[in-house]
Structure 1
Amino acid sequence: MILTGRLGIEFPILQAPMAGAQGSELAIAVAIAGGLGALPCAMLSPDAMAEELTAIRRATSAPINVNFFTHVPPEPDAAAMARWHAALAPWYTEFDLDIGAVPDGTGRRPFDASTCDALEPFRPEVVSFHFGLPEAALLERVKSWGALVLSSATTVAEAQWLEAHGADAVIVQGLEAGGHRGMFLTDELTSQVGTFALLPQVREAVHLPLIAAGGIVDARGVAAALALGADGVQVGTAFLCCPESTISTIHRRALMSEAARHTALTNLYSGRPARGILTRLMHELGPMSEDAPAFPLATAAIAPLRSAAEARGLGDFSPLWAGQNASRCREVPVAEVMAELAEGL
């Protein structure tokens, strides 16, 4: 298989890159346990990315996946931001916050030339993308290092597009998956289907290696994915409660509670659909809102509410990202999770 053979990893098990929930420690632990660890870089500056990659290289020589977003930053839209601020105003009043003091900024940066410059000295073995692929010139630079290029597809059409535009393998992201949907050819949520419905359809439509993602948390899920045509699996939620993750106590508590049984897609935290545990914000405003500005501009105005609520021990405005199956999210070391998953190979 392209992952285990070309990369020299023991298991075709990928750790999902989870921005805001992990740093280098989780990636290192997965790599040492025989899988492919991942470092999410969409929220890191080039300097911060270099620091994390340096830490990884000091800890292990195992292959690593470095992940980026490829969204197009939206044009400023004062009217859209005004609508968003008006929608959030009642909660700003409740927490005695000044909505006029919300800073500009997106919090997430797409893969660009400056990021590519900072990444090149490290020449990671795998570079993965969310929301499509970068422009052709950047993609060729990445491939010139010998890196394997992965990207997420949420429909058959997206998988075919990735095959036609230079991806080396496709992450087949089912509707169950936590965090941001990788959808990029459509914004129609009704086009999104579950992992085990999507996977065999993509297997018939493309010739690239496939990595199944979404709802896979144990050996049974791994075995099912392989039986339906996957060459490997990508796992995220099952690692979130491990001590190597960086999630908050609030997030960790929610993942191990009955609340984790109810997740939904929401655009409230970033402006783009992402799956997380239901929060007060999602209940009261509705998980999907036309008032949320384009990705990733929604984030800035949510951040003060999140901080104020978390200071009171509440996750009311926190993005509690999780997939639909958090049943194996436990406070155990990464190595134990990896061993359980590997039993399904």
Structure 2
Amino acid sequence: MTNVFTTSSVFGELLCDPKIAAEFDAPAFTARMLSFEAAWTEALGACGFVSANDANTALAAIKAFSSETLGRGSDRDGLPVPELVGALKSELDKGAAGAVHTGATSQDVIDAAMVLSCLSVMDEMTNRLDRIVAGLDALLRRFGDNTLMARTRMQSALPATVTLRVDAWRRPLVDHLAKADNVRTELAVVQIGGPIGLREAPQPCVEACAGKVAEILGLSLGPVWHADRSRIVALGNWLTLVAGSLGKIGQDVALMVQQGIDDIALSGGGGSSAMAHKQNPVRAEMMVALARYVAGQQGILGQAMIHEQERSGAAWALEWLTLPAMAEATGSALIHGERLIASVERIGAPD
């Protein structure tokens, strides 16, 4: 079966989100790892652990770095940072080499890069959510007073207006937007723990150095979280809520558009290879599928909480497998949601 999370799939962009995918691709992630290394080197120089000259020489090497060998390093080491650090130091003298990565560890680099990637993803997603809420507001203005049969357990219940149903779509999305700030705050914490999470280097300026790195990266400084993955799982939970609320909209629309019910009319729609009369609610269906996928992945992501001792390779890798895919699926659901709402031509019936 082809991989649907790629634009080269036979499914095109039906279930993928190139913009979100690009936040986790090799160039973007490498750039963010380099941002951490540059901030670390700058901090080592600022606190006097290395000379200004050595720091500047190291920063020039970091700025000039260009390599496609990090994947081969991961094949060997289980992650790209040893290859990256080795390459950065390879042409530096001893003093300048000491200004690269000294006191940091691979997990500091990758976790910081992942945080920066996820914060950028959240910026894009909240912008999309804003547009979807605005689209729903427009539907309420156009069709809110139209009559609609309320349905409970998929059976006709009592007459109502379109406002009842569209408000039920809108409210959770507004709540998720409000929660986004707290998720961002919890997420935006730099990872600086060193080899075993003690944050004990460089001496004697440990806290000053860590604080400087956080400042440069625009993050806050808190306790080491090598083995506490709460903030990552909290982000996954937020993605699950967003995708799930979009899935509810998709499920409602797919039911409302059924022939014989006709509670909603959409422009566009998908054709059938066998039945020319059909106009399938493709975007609504994809929102349902993506919501169910993200919910399933959150169960896997939750298992990344189980880190053995001070650091885990297996639980950590589980995050790499799961979180980017959850983000891309949620991003795709947001795209479908925005376009679905824009395609609505009618909801309910005028009095």
TM class by shorter chain equals under 0.3
TM-score (structure 2 length as normaliser): 0.23
Higher strand share: 1
TM-score (structure 1 length as normaliser): 0.23
